A and B are shown apart, each in its own frame.
Chain A
Amino acid sequence: MTSPVASLAHAIDRRVGRSAPRPSLWAIDVWRLLGHLAVAMFVILAVTGLLLAIWYDPSTEPVTYQGSSELYDGHTLPANFASVVHISEDVPGGLLLRRVHVAASHLFVAATVLHLLRILFTGAYRRPRLANHLVGVGLLLLVLGMLYTGENLPFDLVSGASLRIGYAALMSIPLVGDTLAPLAFGGEFPGGDVVTRSWFLHVFVLPPLFVGGLALHLWLVHRRTPAEWPREDVDVHRCAVGRPLWPDASARFAMLGAGATALVLASAALIPWADLELEGPFRPAEAANTLHPPWSLFFLSGGLRIVPAIDLVIGPVRITNMLVAGVIIPGILIAALVVYPLIERAVLGDDIVHHELAGPLDLPLRAGVTAAITAVTLVLTGAAGVDVIAYWLRSPVEGVIWAFRIALVVVPVAATLLAVRAARRHAERAAGTAGSAGHDDAEATT
């Protein structure tokens, strides 16, 4: 009588859906769906990536490209660059695959970062969700790793610059840098193995780790139940609220995934993501006039541009701009994501369970720290564009860099002070309304 599909739906429903003794509840609102958007993008990336892997060749050996690209036909190119040209120009739908892969990667990182900001601003990392927050930071590192290794694969001039900077960043690490860099690259730069290793990491190591981490992340969301904004109709501290995974939440995730895929495809029709016609292949000691990483790595590039030259020698250790801007500052930013929740817990002596999401201004400490982290990251991100901004303004790049140097100090301090002040006012106002309400009550009773 019942079809297999219906009985499967029944089975799912009894386990995690509306009829389950303990339904799996998922919060559905714009901010919560950012995480699911990232998952949808990862699915697109996995599908397009698997297809691209059919034709991609990680070798850097020179080959003669022959195909329908007029620009490169008959030229000797590195095999990986040639394979990317082949995908773009000769494989049916290949350029579309590449555009969709790149467009989805942009949305993937954007959704991940906004999701993280939501967690930070609303205090969603508090007990009992701290462990899941740490899993999330690990996932963010994997995302950045996939981004960097993916950027290296076309082996064009931009890849060349990103590889060089990666090599220099490893080399800048005191005591072990001179060993670490050739070890990672398989020899002196450019190193025979580095693109093969990037490819191996990008395809075989990081995505499976990401899938594992994501499974843990989602399982923990299910186990801990969603945190919820304070609301009138439910005591969210006592009760878990949300849409049951089956069928309501699943239908929404499917809608979101399909809609976002349509959006990515439409963007691929309008914007030539990833077309490398004019980005030449990697050549030793050659660079383009302007070189920029993907926007999500701008915070690294920006720091390298605006942190002044440093040459501090202490015994066998040399501290350079590369160490400070390429290793220490990003390290501090990432470490802050891990350490700040612990600090907050220690400072407030707050060891109780929080199922209520906080407002961004509910706690001056949190408002200040999140404002500082966000402001530093934003200034560094903007600083990656000093050359472009100087070109727009038709003014010397030195002036723009100085403006960003000043901004790197002033903006985070100002943002922190403003956020703390706003949070204090917010608290006063809350206390004021509570106080006046209490007063009214008192009057009413007397």
Chain B
Amino acid sequence: MSGSEERPEPTPPPPDAGAPHTEPTGGGRPTEPAGASRPSEPGSPIDRSDERSPVWILGWALIGVAGLVGGAWAVATGASTEVQAAALAVPFMATAIVFHHLVVTRDAGELSFERGERLADELAEDHVAATIGRRPLLVRSAVAAAALGAVGGLVGLRQLGPRRGRGSAWAPGVPLVTNDGDRLRPGDVPEGGVVTAWPQDAVDVEAAAVMVIRLRQDPLDPTDLGGVVDDRLVAYSRICTHAGCPVALYRDRDQALFCPCHQATFDARRAATPTFGPASGPLPQLPIGTDDDGFLVALDDFPVTPGPLGGEVER
């Protein structure tokens, strides 16, 4: 394990290369088995002096410090992020190369020892399966307790927790307004166009958002025709019944509403019934009409609570 004689490089290698290194020297073969064959040389391997190392390390240390200073300068002067990143990568690369040098030149090989008696107690600790095998009563009572706890927690949660609200901010006569709070007229929605609308007093309350769509053809069954303005102006909840994403895309070609999150597709002519994808419920239709001044108003709330269909059945 005497290091320096084995090293073949006669001169200090230049600090620019990853450098040709020899195979790990020293105890490349693991010593087998324990105890006696452990290197008995005094002092840890890190102490073994290697006169050539400082030149290497100095070279890379200089490059690393240069990179660090350059990176700090780049950050301080507001140079572009790319320059900052490239400069700061240098010291880490230099550190890696120095360590690579140390690893390759000072490696003392693998060690091995017999697990045998020395580790018998440590290695016998894997109780998981053993316990399950040997203590059926304990396991059964644990399962029973967990089940009881789960039922209790479930009942407690249902009784004590907050509940998701039903219905929405829409009610008969509530005006439809735009993102900016301006009231909407039927004429504001061009043919084949979609406008996002809110209840007048609940702009940006996500669950109440609707899309007002002017269809190119007459709506069909099962659309609530009593809640349609000008025969073709319909309003649907904007919140997908699948995952609650905004159904933000409208495909004029087949008058389909399309959710960018998971590709749920709804037929805008047929009460926004799902036609493809993961959604199982239609987007609730908001029945709309016009008031005396010709502005759009809701005729009623949604027929069902808008938003994703949850695991609980609405009563």
A residues adjacent to B (C-beta < 8 A): 6, 9-10, 13, 17-19, 22-23, 25, 92-93, 95-96, 99-100, 127-131, 134, 161, 164-165, 167-169, 171-183, 187-190, 223-225, 233-235, 238-244, 246-248, 251-252, 254-256, 258-259, 261-263, 265-266, 268-270, 283-291, 301, 304-305, 307-311, 313, 315-323, 325-326, 342, 345, 351, 353, 355, 386-387, 397-398, 401
Known interface pairs A130-B128, A317-B313; A287-B248 also in contact (CB < 8 Å)? yes
**CB of B180 within 8 A of chain A?**
no
- Count B interface residues, CB 8 Å: 98
Interface flags, B152-185, vs A, CB<8A=1, else 0: 0010011001111100000000000000000000
Check A180 against B206 for contact (C-beta < 8 Å).
no
Check B44 against A172 for contact (C-beta < 8 Å).
no
Contact partner of A285 (CB less than 8 A), chosen from B93, B129, B206, is B206
Q: How far is the CA of A129 from the CA of B38 in the complex (A)?
A: 26
Q: How far is the CA of A95 from the CA of B82 in the complex (A)?
A: 10
Measured between beta carbons, the chain B residues less than 8 angstroms from A355 are 115
Check B312 against A175 for contact (C-beta < 8 Å).
yes
In chain B, residues 47-103, which have Cβ atoms closer than 8 Å to a Cβ of chain A?
Answer: 47, 75-76, 78, 81-86, 88-90, 92-93, 95-96, 99-100, 102-103
Check B239 against A285 for contact (C-beta < 8 Å).
yes
Measured between beta carbons, the chain A residues less than 8 angstroms from B127 are 131
Can you spell out 16 A-B residue pairs with CB atoms less than 8 angstroms apart? Answer: A22-B113, A23-B113, A96-B85, A130-B126, A161-B245, A161-B261, A188-B164, A189-B206, A243-B107, A247-B44, A269-B84, A284-B205, A285-B246, A291-B261, A316-B313, A398-B265
CB distance from B101 to the nearest CB of A (A): 9
Residue of A whose beta carbon sits closest to that of B82: A269
**CB of B260 within 8 A of chain A?**
yes
Check B122 against A224 for contact (C-beta < 8 Å).
yes
Q: How far is the CA of A13 from the CA of B39 in the complex (A)?
A: 12
Residue of B whose beta carbon sits closest to that of A323: B311
Contact partner of A187 (CB less than 8 A), chosen from B108, B118, B162, is B162
Measured between beta carbons, the chain B residues less than 8 angstroms from A189 are 206-207, 244, 307
Check A318 against B311 for contact (C-beta < 8 Å).
yes
Check A246 against B164 for contact (C-beta < 8 Å).
no
Residue of B whose beta carbon sits closest to that of A126: B126
Measured between beta carbons, the chain A residues less than 8 angstroms from B259 are 287
Check A225 against B119 for contact (C-beta < 8 Å).
yes
Measured between beta carbons, the chain A residues less than 8 angstroms from B123 are 128, 224-225, 353
Check A93 against B75 for contact (C-beta < 8 Å).
yes
Closest A-B pairs by Cβ, 7 of them: A285-B209, A311-B280, A179-B161, A255-B99, A269-B85, A259-B96, A265-B89
**CB of B204 within 8 A of chain A?**
yes
CB distance from A12 to the nearest CB of B (A): 8
CB distance from B160 to the nearest CB of A (A): 8
Check B103 against A252 for contact (C-beta < 8 Å).
yes
Check B89 against A316 for contact (C-beta < 8 Å).
no
**CB of B221 within 8 A of chain A?**
no
Check A268 against B100 for contact (C-beta < 8 Å).
no
Q: How far is the CA of A33 from the CA of B245 in the complex (A)?
A: 40
Check B243 against A322 for contact (C-beta < 8 Å).
yes
CB distance from B79 to the nearest CB of A (A): 10
Check B243 against A168 for contact (C-beta < 8 Å).
yes
**CB of B214 within 8 A of chain A?**
no
Measured between beta carbons, the chain A residues less than 8 angstroms from B227 are none
Which of B86, B246, B249, B262 has the largest number of chain A CB atoms within 10 A?
B262
Residue of B whose beta carbon sits closest to that of A265: B89
Check B244 against A290 for contact (C-beta < 8 Å).
no
CB distance from B314 to the nearest CB of A (A): 9
Check A311 against B76 for contact (C-beta < 8 Å).
no
Measured between beta carbons, the chain B residues less than 8 angstroms from A22 are 113, 118-119
Q: How far is the CA of A182 from the CA of B161 in the complex (A)?
A: 9
Which of A18, A129, A317 has the largest number of chain B CB atoms within 10 A?
A18
Interface contact tally, CB-CB below 8 A: 329
Check A241 against B111 for contact (C-beta < 8 Å).
yes
Known interface pairs A9-B47, A265-B88, A309-B274; A397-B263 also in contact (CB < 8 Å)? yes
Check B92 against A178 for contact (C-beta < 8 Å).
no
Contact partner of B244 (CB less than 8 A), chosen from A6, A164, A240, is A164
Measured between beta carbons, the chain B residues less than 8 angstroms from A251 are 99, 102-103, 106
Q: How far is the CA of A96 from the CA of B83 in the complex (A)?
A: 10
Check B158 against A309 for contact (C-beta < 8 Å).
no
Q: How far is the CA of A317 from the CA of B315 in the complex (A)?
A: 12
Measured between beta carbons, the chain A residues less than 8 angstroms from B8 are none
Measured between beta carbons, the chain B residues less than 8 angstroms from A309 are 242, 264, 274, 277-280
Check B309 against A311 for contact (C-beta < 8 Å).
yes
Check A18 against B45 for contact (C-beta < 8 Å).
yes
Contact partner of A176 (CB less than 8 A), chosen from B81, B157, B278, is B157
CB distance from A135 to the nearest CB of B (A): 11
Measured between beta carbons, the chain B residues less than 8 angstroms from A248 are 45, 103, 107-108
Measured between beta carbons, the chain A residues less than 8 angstroms from B276 are 398, 401
Contact partner of A164 (CB less than 8 A), chosen from B85, B106, B114, B245, is B245
Check B30 against A233 for contact (C-beta < 8 Å).
yes
CB distance from A299 to the nearest CB of B (A): 14
Measured between beta carbons, the chain B residues less than 8 angstroms from A351 are 129-130
Known interface pairs A18-B45, A175-B311, A255-B103; A285-B85 also in contact (CB < 8 Å)? no
CB distance from B313 to the nearest CB of A (A): 5
Q: How far is the CA of A187 from the CA of B78 in the complex (A)?
A: 42
Check A305 against B262 for contact (C-beta < 8 Å).
yes
Q: How far is the CA of A188 from the CA of B128 in the complex (A)?
A: 42
Known interface pairs A164-B244, A188-B207; A247-B110 also in contact (CB < 8 Å)? no
Check A171 against B164 for contact (C-beta < 8 Å).
yes
Check B110 against A242 for contact (C-beta < 8 Å).
yes
**CB of B140 within 8 A of chain A?**
no
**CB of B46 within 8 A of chain A?**
yes
Check A269 against B89 for contact (C-beta < 8 Å).
yes
Contact partner of B81 (CB less than 8 A), chosen from A23, A96, A284, is A96
**CB of B13 within 8 A of chain A?**
no
Measured between beta carbons, the chain B residues less than 8 angstroms from A180 are 157, 161
Measured between beta carbons, the chain A residues less than 8 angstroms from B78 are 92
In chain B, residues 9-45, which have Cβ atoms closer than 8 Å to a Cβ of chain A?
Answer: 29-30, 32-34, 38-39, 43-45
**CB of B112 within 8 A of chain A?**
yes
**Known contacts A18-B111, A268-B85; 9 further A-B pairs (Cβ under 8 A):** A180-B157, A223-B122, A265-B92, A269-B82, A283-B204, A285-B209, A286-B246, A287-B259, A387-B260
